[in-house]
Structure 1
Amino acid sequence: MKSRVKLLFAMSLVSLTIGQMYAQIKSDYDKETDFTQYKTYTFKGWEKESDKQLNEFDKNRILGAFKKELTARGLTPDDSDPDLGITLFVVVNDKTSTSAYTSYNGNMGYGMGRFGGWGYGGMGMSTATTTYTEEDYKEGTIVIDFYDNESNKLVWQGVITDVVKEKAEKREKSIPKHINKLMKKYPVDPVK
């Protein structure tokens, strides 16, 4: 029973570690670009057909979340003469997380002292048990690039890396949440 509790504890530590080390959100942009000049955009598609790694539902979740964030910043879609061209790239990799948990069971005993007195001493025995756990998971990265459509110059890039949730309900919540966090790094705030 104790070993089962220890194993469950170790597995929950692994899950906590994986959950906390992810959802990395980064961005970079051209500091000399005036982003308020951009009013329209078009999605130019997925780089290197990377969208084939996604199902239709997740593609729509990603595109829908970006459209919502762009609209909130006053940008409107325009496929004929857009100010910004936007491309998306996605990578999904198989990963393994390894962790170890060591539990110690120490014992101390009473013994007879050298001159007939009682007290701590004598020989004791302790044991240590190390439990190793491995957990396989998928790591997904979305890269979104904003290009000035006139100069074709990269002006902003955002990157989200996270553990891919197995359940659709969790992806439905996490995708828009992470895209919202990423777009907070875009140089133009939402219009109020």
Structure 2
Amino acid sequence: MRRLFLLLPAVLLLAACQGAAVQPDYDASRDFSGYRTWQFDEPAVAYRPENDPRLAGELTTERVKASVANQMELRGLRPPVAGQGADLKVKTYLIVENRQDNVTTSFGGYWGTGWGGFWGGPSIQTQSVDYKELTLQIDMLDSNDGKLVWRGSESDTLSERPQTPAKREEQINRLVGKILGSFPPY
């Protein structure tokens, strides 16, 4: 029984570490089993804001395209044979938004007993923290009618410090993997 009480906090801690699952939006009337091929719509990657030099560029575009292509391949979707159209058109968006969060810290305060006892009230301090949030959104459109049939997105904090190409690729692969992990919506 004692082991159970020691195991319970570990299980709760692991459950708290689990991120929220991506909740895609999709057209429930579509038969996703009929989609076999895909291709990027133009532009393959759209940036918001368009002029953000920390994000927009050929290197980022190629990383996103390679990651999406890899995930689509894992799901059994292939590029179309030359000269034929694809069943799905894929469009991705990289969106950077300014965010603000309030962080509260509390410290101090003591209550003692005996001759040395005293009370010092705790100090509470709240600060605003500005940061940038990166959102990757993937849209899939039916090639026949051009209508959106599936959309998924995931967000992550954009590092203010310069990142290595490997870290950028890792972040993009992680986001794309989370998003397309819920496709197709069976």
Q: Same fold (TM over 0.5)?
A: yes
How far the C-alpha of 1:23 sits from its partner, in A, is: 7.7
Match of 2:130 in 1: 136
Q: Which runs of no fewer than 5 residues in structure 2 stay unpaired?
A: 1-16
- Is the contact made by 1:146 and 1:156 (CA closer than 8 Å) also made in structure 2? yes
Instruction: From 138, 144, 154, give the equivalent of 1:150.
Output: 144
The letter of the residue matching 1:72 is: L
TM-aligned CA distance change 1:181 to 1:41, over 3 Å = same
Instruction: From 157, 173, 178, give the equivalent of 2:175.
Output: 178
Match of 1:110 in 2: 114
Q: How many residue pairs align between the two structures?
A: 160
How far the C-alpha of 1:182 sits from its partner, in A, is: 1.4
Q: Aligned runs of 1:159-174 on 2, under 5 Å?
A: 159-165=153-159, 166=161, 167-168=163-164, 169-174=166-171
Instruction: From 96, 100, 105, give the equivalent of 1:96.
Output: 100
The letter of the residue matching 1:152 is: G
SS of residue in 2 equivalent to 1:106: strand
Match of 1:57 in 2: 59
TM-aligned CA distance change 1:163 to 1:29, over 3 Å = same
Q: 1 CA distance for matches of 2:99 and 2:167?
A: 19
How far the C-alpha of 1:151 sits from its partner, in A, is: 1.5
The letter of the residue matching 2:35 is: Y
Match of 2:77 in 1: 75
Q: Which runs of no fewer than 5 residues in structure 1 stay unpaired?
A: 1-19, 112-119
The letter of the residue matching 1:156 is: W
- Is the contact made by 1:26 and 1:160 (CA closer than 8 Å) also made in structure 2? no
TM-aligned CA distance change 1:73 to 1:107, over 3 Å = closer
Q: 1 CA distance for matches of 2:144 and 2:135?
A: 28
CA-based RMSD: 3.0
Identity fraction in percent: 24
The letter of the residue matching 2:26 is: Y
1:66 is aligned to 2:62? no
> Highest Rg: 1 or 2?
1
Which 10-residue stretch deviates more, 49-58 or 138-147?
A: 49-58
How far the C-alpha of 1:187 sits from its partner, in A, is: 1.7
The letter of the residue matching 2:178 is: K
TM-score (norm 2): 0.71
Q: 2 CA distance for matches of 1:151 and 1:22?
A: 35
